[in-house]
Every structure is written in C-alpha cells, then in structure tokens.
C-alpha cells in the first residue's frame, strides 16, 4: 500500500489529534521497513536465518559466539547507515513541530528518527551506531580494524559490543521511566510499526489506555493491541502517517 491509496481516517481521530496538547508516539521496526531495514522478525536472513532474534540478541549468545553476534550487528549497522528516513519518519517530524508537547519513544536502534530531524526521541533499546565495552561499559568511538573480531576495549581489553539492550538486559532506567510517565499522561498515543510483544515497551500503549489517552495503532497487521486501540489504521507507516498528519494539520503539508 502507498500514499496513492488513501485510507479512511475518521474525522473524530483527526480532531482529537489536532486539539491534543500532549502527544506520544511509540515506534517499532515497522516504521523503518520502508527504508529497507528488515524488521526484527525479518532480520534473520542469510547467515543468521537459523537463529531467532532472541537467540542472538543476548549477552549469553555474545559470550558463546562473540564473532557471530558482532558480525550480525556489523551487517545491521551497515544496513542502517545506508538507509534513509522515509515519509513515515518525516511525518513524525512534522507532527512534533505542531503538537504542543510531543515525545517520540522508539524501540528501534537504527537512529533514523534523529536523522529525519526528530528532536525529543527516547531510545528504549539503545543505538546500533554506538559501540561500548562488554566489560567496563565505556563507549568506544573508534577501534583498530585489527584482525581480532570483536575488537578490544583500549581501557580494559574487554570485547566491544553494540550499545543496544539485549534480551535479559535492563533498559536504560531514565528512558523507561520517562516513557512510562509520558505514556500515562498523554491525550493521544500512536503505536506505529511494532508487534507489541517485547516487554517492557509493549506495556506502554496499555499504560496510555489506563491514563485515558486515545490510543491509535498504525500497522498493516494485527497485534495484541489491535482489539484495545480506539482507532486502528491498517496500513504502512509511510502511507498512513503523512495522511494523518496532513489531515490534522493541513498547513503542515
């Protein structure tokens, strides 16, 4: 589906978004799909096809096979570097400019929201463009392209790893606290391109519901949120979000 196929956006939703003071958006891998970055479920191709994401994105997998995990992230980082933000990312930049209070909470580690121009971005699961030491946690800004894979920390000799949150690892506490707070206080909560499975991020739309927010899901497929959302816009982020923002804020075209 693309923007040539307009979807029906209820007038009630358009008015809610236009008049909302506090808007929160949660994004998942689906918003980056149209930038050519495979969603988390689809990322298991080629060399890694025989693994489930949960089997590779863990500290245990890294300790068991550091080269395999490092190479997977190197491949994904290159895909992210080569990718460009799409119309869905850009629509959220427009929305941030028009909503009085706006917070974008993302599960994605590809950095595309910041590259699109989004300013208030909460990265729940880190950022694949940053690299840190598995042992001392210090960030590594560059490393010798030594034959050793993964490269080593100049401070303590530990293995370098991507600065992302793996399964079984705690999220950056300030990030999750802020995400929970703003989700519970917002008037409109958009959940875009996420399978709504991985905790604790998946609880955010339900926190918004309990806070009385108008919860909207944007996804071509159904998720555990679909039956609870007030509005379900069935389609891709790159086609739905520009239409939604343009209808709510016509001047933002």
| Residues found near Zn ion in the complex (CB under 5 A) | 133, 135-136, 153, 155-156, 158
Judged by DSSP in three states, 66 sits in helix
Q: In the complex, what is the shortest distance from the CB of residue 2 to ligand BV8, in angstroms, rounded to a whole number? A: 10
Closest CB to ligand BV8: residue number: 30
- What count of other Cβ atoms lies within 10 Å of the Cβ of residue 140? 18
Long-range contacts formed by 4-11: CB under 8 A, 24+ apart: 5/239, 6/243, 7/233, 7/234, 7/235, 7/239, 7/240, 7/243, 9/233, 9/240, 9/243, 9/244, 9/247, 10/231
125 is catalytic: yes
Q: In the complex, what is the shortest distance from the CB of residue 223 to Zn ion, in angstroms, rounded to a whole number? A: 38
Please choose which of ligand BV8, Zn ion, none residue 194 contacts, taking the beta carbon within 5 to 8 angstroms, the exact cut-off set by kind.
Answer: ligand BV8
> Contact positions toward ligand BV8, by CB under 6 A?
28-31, 33-34, 39-41, 54, 57, 107, 109, 125, 164-170, 193-195, 197-199, 201, 219-221, 223, 236-237
Which one from 5, 113, 125, 155 is the annotated catalytic residue? 125
Bridge partners, 132 (sequence order): 139, 161
Please choose which of Zn ion, ligand BV8, none residue 28 contacts, taking the beta carbon within 5 to 8 angstroms, the exact cut-off set by kind.
Answer: ligand BV8
Q: In the complex, what is the shortest distance from the CB of residue 166 to Zn ion, in angstroms, rounded to a whole number? A: 17
| Structure tokens belonging to residue 30 | 């689906």
Please choose which of ligand BV8, Zn ion, none residue 156 contacts, taking the beta carbon within 5 to 8 angstroms, the exact cut-off set by kind.
Answer: Zn ion
DSSP-assigned letter for residue 159? B
Please choose which of Zn ion, ligand BV8, none residue 153 contacts, taking the beta carbon within 5 to 8 angstroms, the exact cut-off set by kind.
Answer: Zn ion
Q: Which residue has the tokens 């007030």?
A: 230
* 150 upstream amide cis, omega within 30 of 0: yes
Dist CA 156 CA 40 (whole Å): 32
Nearer CB in complex with ligand BV8: 94/110: 110
Q: In the complex, what is the shortest distance from the CB of residue 57 to ligand BV8, in angstroms, rounded to a whole number? A: 4
Dist CA 89 CA 113 (whole Å): 6
Please choose which of Zn ion, ligand BV8, none residue 151 contacts, taking the beta carbon within 5 to 8 angstroms, the exact cut-off set by kind.
Answer: none
Q: In the complex, what is the shortest distance from the CB of residue 185 to Zn ion, in angstroms, rounded to a whole number? A: 39
Nearer CB in complex with ligand BV8: 1/97: 1
Nearer CB in complex with ligand BV8: 36/212: 36
Report the candidate in 120, 116, 129, 122 with the shortest Cα–Cα distance to residue 85: 116
Residues identified as active-site: 125
């Amino acid at each position: 589906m693309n923007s040539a196929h307009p979807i029906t956006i209820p007038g009630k939703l358009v008015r809610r978004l236009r008049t909302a003071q506090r808007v929160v958006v949660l994004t998942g891998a689906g918003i980056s799909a149209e930038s050519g970055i495979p969603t988390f479920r689809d990322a298991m191709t080629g060399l890694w096809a025989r693994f489930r994401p949960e089997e590779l994105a863990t500290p245990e997998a890294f300790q068991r096979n550091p080269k395999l995990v490092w190479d997977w992230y190197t491949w994904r980082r290159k895909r992210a570097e080569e990718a460009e933000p799409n119309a869905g990312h850009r629509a959220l930049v427009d929305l941030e400019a028009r909503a009085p209070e706006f917070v974008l909470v993302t599960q994605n580690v590809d950095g595309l929201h910041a590259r699109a121009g989004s300013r208030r971005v909460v990265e729940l699961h880190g950022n694949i463009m940053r690299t840190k030491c598995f042992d001392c946690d210090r960030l590594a800004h560059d490393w010798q392209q030594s034959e050793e894979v993964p490269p080593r920390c100049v401070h303590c000799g530990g293995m370098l790893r991507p600065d992302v949150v793996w399964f079984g690892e705690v999220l950056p506490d300030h990030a999750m606290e802020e995400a929970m707070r703003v989700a519970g206080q917002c008037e409109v909560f958009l959940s875009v391109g996420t399978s709504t499975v991985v905790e604790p991020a998946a609880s955010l739309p339900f926190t918004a519901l309990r806070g009385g927010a108008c919860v909207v899901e944007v996804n071509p497929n159904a998720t555990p949120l679909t039956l609870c959302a007030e509005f379900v816009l069935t389609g891709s982020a790159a086609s739905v979000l520009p239409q939604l923002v343009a209808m709510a804020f016509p001047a933002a075209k």
